[in-house]
Amino acid sequence: MDDIAKLRRILRECRTVAVVGLSANWYRPSYFAAKYLQEHGYRVIPVNPAYDSVLGEKCYRALSEIPDKVDVVDCFRRSEEIPALADEAIAIGAKVLWMQLGVTSEPARRKAEAAGLEVVEDRCMKIEHGRLFGGLGWAGVNTKVVSARRPT
């Protein structure tokens, strides 16, 4: 999707985001993208069977376990895993299937669009939000650590 108006509308109207593959490790892209979204007013719902909670939110093993309405399913998973996630996004009534940078899936796109979902491929919600709504806070990653070394 290269339609700026659609990206802007999705980011403005869709405020509950299930982040599939969200890591609890602060240096992972999924973590700082979700943290950015939280700090800009989005409700982030982590989906990762490896954790009980991430960023102060209860973590779910699968999309189907989320009891609340989800607007966007933001996928930090490999392209070959996306068709199954598209099925889950359709089943929970999500509005948007969002695939992160480097992630595309034509079968998932066709399936999701046929079910009425909007699809975004190969884009990052954090980057797009900063680009389209710049000036609303940090656009980078402020870990408050001045070091190139990972914590021990």
Provide the residue ranges of all domains of the chain, joining segments of one domain with +: 4-132
Question: What confidence category does residue 2 fall into, taking pLDDT thresholds of 50, 70 and 90?
Answer: low
pLDDT at position 144 = 47
Measure the CA–CA gap between 96 and 120, rounded to whole angstroms: 8
pTM, two decimals, is: 0.87
Which CATH number describes the domain made up of 4-132?
A: 3.40.50.720
Could you read off the pLDDT of 125-150 as tens digits, one per residue?
999 999 898 754 555 554 444 455 66
Question: What confidence category does residue 1 fall into, taking pLDDT thresholds of 50, 70 and 90?
Answer: very low
List, in order, residues 6 or more apart from 49 with CB less than 8 Å away.
Answer: 61, 62
Question: What confidence category does residue 47 fall into, taking pLDDT thresholds of 50, 70 and 90?
Answer: very high
CB 140 within 8 A of CB 134: no
Q: How many CB atoms lie within 10 A of CB 148?
A: 5
